[in-house]
Chains A and B, each alone.
Chain A
Amino acid sequence: MVAAALFALYATFLLWKIYATHSQLREDVLTEIRLEAEKRSEAVSYFLSERQNDLRDLADSQDAANFFANRDLGMSLEYGLALSVQAVEERFNRVKGQKLLSGQPIYRDLAMVDANGSLLAGGEDAPKKLKSFLTPNSRAAVLLFRPSERDIVITAPIWFRERYRGQIVAWSDLSAFQAQMVGAKPDGNQALVDAKSAQPVAVEAGSPFLLPSLQNIVSAMKPGSSAFLGGSSGVAGGVGVIKVAVRGSPMALAILVTESQLEQRSTPMGLLMVAGAVPLLVLAGALVLARQKQRHQALTEEKGRLEGRNTELEQEIARRMAVERELRQRTEELTHAYARAEAASHAKSQFLANMAHEIRTPMNGVLGMTELILDGELSEEQREYARIVMSSGQGLLTVLNDILDYSKIEAGMMKVESVEFNAREAIEQVVALFHKLAEGKGLAYRLSFTEGFPERIFSDPTRVRQILSNLLSNAIKFTASGGVSVRAETRQRDDRRFIAISVRDTGIGMDPATLAGLFQAFNQADGSITRKFGGTGLGLVIARNLCQLLGGEISVESTPDEGTTFHFEIPEHPPEAAAPESMPEEA
């Protein structure tokens, strides 16, 4: 930008300098035109001199000499001399063909004339009177400008054997000559004029050189001089005139200098204005370039930033892919571990189920025998011992049953039925079973049914009893005072009906942490509970699993030291039940 501004300043200074010297240039231009004219005049002089040489050569030629020699010998045209004439004319033809100016013949005609002015050879277009061209007193070729005839005549004397014999005469068209000398398309501002009278040799009508006022000025001028034209010259747009002599001839070259010519040759205003626009253009160009550069820089920076971000993203992607790979790997490992654990658990459950079954069978035997013993004659002490055996055995059996059930559930082998049965009756039966136990602990014990509780539902009666038994057993176990109540109702959700049973106690309750792990296996509230209340910790897990298998759900609310309420609900009809099997009424 700075450079451009400096350049603009410098260019402006230059323009001022140019303009300042414009006037001086005008003067110099006139001088230049004059010098050019002098050069051209020299060319014209040379040309004319060469024409004179041509004629001298012809006059001195062997063919001309042979003619006069044969004529001297007395030969007649009819017998021999015509051959000499032929030779001269052949030479004339060669000269006409060879001497050209811009491709046009210089000589219109050539003739050999004798000392009396009679035509001897050539001269087909020659005038009848040829005596005027004789120069018996000269040895040199002569130029005659004949504006009236519009031609130039060059004539050279023939001297043979020291006697004047005649003349070689050549005619050349003046207008063609002038056109060649002053330009093929004369612009009307140049003309060949008579040096003395300033009469133009051949110009078109309307030429300024025909003006008497201009002719007066030119005729008064010395050759090689220039003059400024005033208003009186009558030449529109004319600034000056230059006159240059054509050496070796009576002619001069007159050149009119016009205002437009001066402008053309000096620094034209148009050029100045265009040149003046150049520094502005340069400045504008520099500005555009600077902006371009700026934008380019910004784009480059943005590009760099984007490339950096790109690299970061690529790195992040690589990192995440590595993490993914690790996760996949670990997931795979975990899946394997889980499968192994599941397999192990399944194996264990299978083992437990087998073991429980193996143990239960002899246990039933023991209990059976013990019952028989109790039916017999026993002392009080024996009877006491037998009762303890019976109680222990029953307790062990309960544990084994729990273990078996849990194992079945874990192994996925637990099956539930879907039969029609009297739910109300089943619930009453289970509640009745624990009546004595509750009464023995001094607890209030109540069962209620809401209105509309269905008589018959489709589900698994054994498992429903089992769930309720488990909940009642726990409620009574963990309640020292107060009471246990069971409430059975129906619920409608979406288009399905459920039976909902709540078992409420006023027992020890549980804190939220205990509630969270309640339905997990082997998880009694804490170790002290197990010691105090016994149990395997499997009951609620089994109850929840059974609920879910029946299409229902179990939940609990509890407050420590205030009591606990277990809710479970099961659908009256299982969702996929087709034609549920009706179970006969059982006692």
Chain B
Amino acid sequence: MKRFLRFAAIALFAAVGCAQAQDLSDIKASGVLRHLGIPYANFVSGNGDGLDVEITQLFAKHLGVRYEYVKTDWKDVIGDLTGKLIEAKPEPHEVGSRPIKGDLIGNGFTMLEARKKWVDYSDPTFPTSVWLVARADSKTKPIKPSGDKQKDIATTKTLLSRGSTFVMENSCLDPKLYDIGSKGYQLKFYTLSSNLNELIPAVLKGDADMTLLDVPDIMVAMQKWPGQFKIIGPISDDQLMGTAFRKTSPELRAAFNSFLEGIKKDGTYGKLVKKYYPMSPKFYPDYFKNVKGMGGK
């Protein structure tokens, strides 16, 4: 009887879209952990697997609740988590409430300052950067590394003037993040979908000359379209990705951090990274040098 009443209360709250705090105890009581995911590189394949999918599935098992995948997109993902209706322009701001659809965002979600206003991040789950990528036949040539990342970033940014470049708002490819928005560059906002996986094919098709792209996506694309595109240089500093939580779910976040530390120590995390991003230790040696289960590379 008690259990029924509890379920009825939850259903009621969900029905009226009440933005009540749903923290760890509520999740445990409800028996389900809802994972907000957007198909993206090897983090969320869209077919039920991916690095973030498997980490979140293990987390649900760790909590002793059922795992549920909730598909969303870059535009709605924060709203689906927080229950806040957010207007993006001129600056992202809350205009109302909406139903909460998920309990965490695990999506190769770059830890951007702008996002930290709305969500709290877990400890880092993966390293990343944003680079400029061009078609192989493009006249724009890759930069010669100077040994100074900031110099390399500045050099790469100047090459934006060589052609059109895909960017994507409200994502890690948002030009505002890298101060290239109002520089007169030919930026094309990709709106056909929020799927970053589609940017390279679009460039290869000739819809733009270049695109910003995060490194994890680039790792995947290099295997899919070898020799068909080239990396010009970095647009961003090294960034970190993490799992995002409501600001009202501190216990859930703390539980996730504890869980993440555990799987990093016991080698589970390393095995998952090796499965989905085997090249990553080569690319981010500092980040992965002490990660167990990666074969020591």
Give me the interface of A with B, judged by CB distance under 8 Å.
Answer: 62, 65-66, 69-70, 73-80, 82-87, 89-90, 93
Q: Closest CB of chain B to A40's CB: distance in Å?
A: 37
Taking CB atoms, residues of chain B closer than 8 Å to A87 are 222-223, 279
A79:B145 contact, CB within 8 angstroms: yes
A80:B231 contact, CB within 8 angstroms: yes
A78 with B141, Cβ < 8 A, contacts A83-B219, A87-B223, A87-B279 known: no
Taking CB atoms, residues of chain B closer than 8 Å to A78 are 145, 152
Most buried by B among A80, A84, A86: A80
| Measured CA separation A69–B281 after assembly (Å) | 22
Given A66-B226, A83-B279, A86-B283; 12 other pairs, CB 8 A cutoff: A65-B226, A66-B227, A69-B227, A73-B142, A76-B145, A79-B143, A79-B232, A80-B131, A80-B142, A82-B283, A86-B279, A90-B278
Q: Does B212 contact A (CB under 8 A)?
A: no
Q: Mark B156-175, 1 if CB is under 8 A from A, else 0.
A: 00000000000000000000
B218:A74 contact, CB within 8 angstroms: no
Q: Does B50 contact A (CB under 8 A)?
A: no
The residue of chain B having its C-beta at the shortest distance from the C-beta of A93 within the complex is B295
Taking CB atoms, residues of chain B closer than 8 Å to A73 are 136, 142, 227, 230
Q: Closest CB of chain A to B238's CB: distance in Å?
A: 12
Q: Does B89 contact A (CB under 8 A)?
A: no
| Measured CA separation A15–B138 after assembly (Å) | 89
B234:A79 contact, CB within 8 angstroms: yes
A66 with B141, Cβ < 8 A, contacts A75-B230, A80-B230, A86-B279 known: no
B222:A84 contact, CB within 8 angstroms: yes
A-B contact pairs, 26 of them (CB 8 A): A65-B227, A69-B226, A70-B230, A73-B142, A73-B230, A74-B230, A75-B231, A76-B142, A76-B143, A76-B144, A78-B145, A79-B142, A79-B145, A79-B231, A79-B233, A80-B218, A80-B222, A82-B279, A83-B218, A83-B222, A83-B282, A83-B283, A86-B281, A86-B283, A89-B282, A90-B278
Taking CB atoms, residues of chain A closer than 8 Å to B230 are 70, 73-75, 80
Q: Closest CB of chain B to A121's CB: distance in Å?
A: 10
Most buried by B among A66, A74, A89: A74
| Measured CA separation A87–B218 after assembly (Å) | 13
Q: In chain B, residues 184-243, which have Cβ atoms closer than 8 Å to a Cβ of chain A? A: 218-219, 222-223, 226-227, 230-234
Q: Closest CB of chain A to B274's CB: distance in Å?
A: 10
| Measured CA separation A82–B152 after assembly (Å) | 17
Query: How many contacts A-B (CB < 8 Å)?
Result: 68
Taking CB atoms, residues of chain A closer than 8 Å to B283 are 82-83, 86
A85 with B143, Cβ < 8 A, contacts A62-B226, A75-B230, A79-B131 known: no
Q: Closest CB of chain A to B171's CB: distance in Å?
A: 21
| Measured CA separation A234–B123 after assembly (Å) | 75
| Measured CA separation A202–B256 after assembly (Å) | 58
Q: Closest CB of chain B to A536's CB: distance in Å?
A: 138
| Measured CA separation A86–B215 after assembly (Å) | 14
Q: Closest CB of chain B to A479's CB: distance in Å?
A: 151
The residue of chain A having its C-beta at the shortest distance from the C-beta of B233 within the complex is A79
| Measured CA separation A77–B285 after assembly (Å) | 13
| Measured CA separation A70–B223 after assembly (Å) | 12
7 nearest A-B pairs in the assembled complex, by CB-CB distance:
A80-B231, A69-B227, A86-B279, A73-B230, A86-B282, A66-B226, A78-B145
Taking CB atoms, residues of chain B closer than 8 Å to A93 are 295
The residue of chain A having its C-beta at the shortest distance from the C-beta of B231 within the complex is A80
The residue of chain B having its C-beta at the shortest distance from the C-beta of A78 within the complex is B145
B142:A75 contact, CB within 8 angstroms: yes
The residue of chain B having its C-beta at the shortest distance from the C-beta of A69 within the complex is B227
Taking CB atoms, residues of chain B closer than 8 Å to A70 are 222, 226-227, 230
Q: Closest CB of chain A to B278's CB: distance in Å?
A: 6
The one of A66, A74, A82 that contacts B282, using a Cβ cutoff of 8 Å: A82
| Measured CA separation A69–B152 after assembly (Å) | 23
| Measured CA separation A305–B131 after assembly (Å) | 116
| Measured CA separation A82–B131 after assembly (Å) | 14
Taking CB atoms, residues of chain B closer than 8 Å to A90 are 278-279
| Measured CA separation A280–B227 after assembly (Å) | 84
| Measured CA separation A90–B294 after assembly (Å) | 12
Q: Mark B65-84, 1 if CB is under 8 A from A, else 0.
A: 00000000000000000000
Taking CB atoms, residues of chain B closer than 8 Å to A66 are 222, 226-227
| Measured CA separation A78–B145 after assembly (Å) | 7
| Measured CA separation A78–B227 after assembly (Å) | 17
The one of A62, A84, A86 that contacts B278, using a Cβ cutoff of 8 Å: A86
Taking CB atoms, residues of chain A closer than 8 Å to B297 are 89
Taking CB atoms, residues of chain B closer than 8 Å to A75 are 142, 230-231
| Measured CA separation A66–B226 after assembly (Å) | 6
Q: Closest CB of chain A to B225's CB: distance in Å?
A: 10
The one of B141, B152, B227 that contacts A74, using a Cβ cutoff of 8 Å: B141
| Measured CA separation A86–B282 after assembly (Å) | 6
Taking CB atoms, residues of chain B closer than 8 Å to A85 are 282
B142:A74 contact, CB within 8 angstroms: yes
Taking CB atoms, residues of chain A closer than 8 Å to B218 are 80, 83
| Measured CA separation A76–B147 after assembly (Å) | 12
The residue of chain A having its C-beta at the shortest distance from the C-beta of B229 within the complex is A73
Q: Closest CB of chain B to A223's CB: distance in Å?
A: 44
Taking CB atoms, residues of chain B closer than 8 Å to A77 are 145
| Measured CA separation A254–B283 after assembly (Å) | 51
Q: Closest CB of chain B to A539's CB: distance in Å?
A: 139
| Measured CA separation A65–B223 after assembly (Å) | 12
| Measured CA separation A354–B223 after assembly (Å) | 157
Q: Closest CB of chain B to A96's CB: distance in Å?
A: 12
Taking CB atoms, residues of chain B closer than 8 Å to A89 are 282, 297
Q: Closest CB of chain B to A67's CB: distance in Å?
A: 9
Taking CB atoms, residues of chain B closer than 8 Å to A83 are 218-219, 222, 279, 282-283
Taking CB atoms, residues of chain B closer than 8 Å to A86 are 278-279, 281-283
Q: Closest CB of chain A to B123's CB: distance in Å?
A: 25
The residue of chain A having its C-beta at the shortest distance from the C-beta of B219 within the complex is A83
| Measured CA separation A419–B131 after assembly (Å) | 169
Q: Closest CB of chain B to A87's CB: distance in Å?
A: 7
| Measured CA separation A79–B152 after assembly (Å) | 10
Taking CB atoms, residues of chain A closer than 8 Å to B223 are 87
Taking CB atoms, residues of chain B closer than 8 Å to A82 are 279, 282-283
Most buried by B among A69, A86, A90, A93: A86
The residue of chain B having its C-beta at the shortest distance from the C-beta of A77 within the complex is B145
The residue of chain A having its C-beta at the shortest distance from the C-beta of B278 within the complex is A90
Q: Closest CB of chain B to A84's CB: distance in Å?
A: 7
Q: Closest CB of chain A to B49's CB: distance in Å?
A: 20
| Measured CA separation A84–B281 after assembly (Å) | 13
The residue of chain B having its C-beta at the shortest distance from the C-beta of A72 within the complex is B227
The residue of chain A having its C-beta at the shortest distance from the C-beta of B131 within the complex is A79
Q: In chain B, residues 239-297, which have Cβ atoms closer than 8 Å to a Cβ of chain A? A: 278-279, 281-283, 295, 297
| Measured CA separation A66–B145 after assembly (Å) | 20
| Measured CA separation A73–B139 after assembly (Å) | 10
| Measured CA separation A78–B218 after assembly (Å) | 13
| Measured CA separation A93–B222 after assembly (Å) | 20
| Measured CA separation A90–B275 after assembly (Å) | 12
Q: Closest CB of chain B to A503's CB: distance in Å?
A: 144
| Measured CA separation A85–B278 after assembly (Å) | 12
| Measured CA separation A155–B276 after assembly (Å) | 32
Q: Closest CB of chain B to A72's CB: distance in Å?
A: 8
Q: Closest CB of chain A to B111's CB: distance in Å?
A: 22
Q: Closest CB of chain A to B284's CB: distance in Å?
A: 10
Taking CB atoms, residues of chain A closer than 8 Å to B152 are 78-79
| Measured CA separation A93–B131 after assembly (Å) | 29
Taking CB atoms, residues of chain A closer than 8 Å to B219 are 83
Q: Closest CB of chain B to A464's CB: distance in Å?
A: 137
Q: Closest CB of chain A to B116's CB: distance in Å?
A: 28
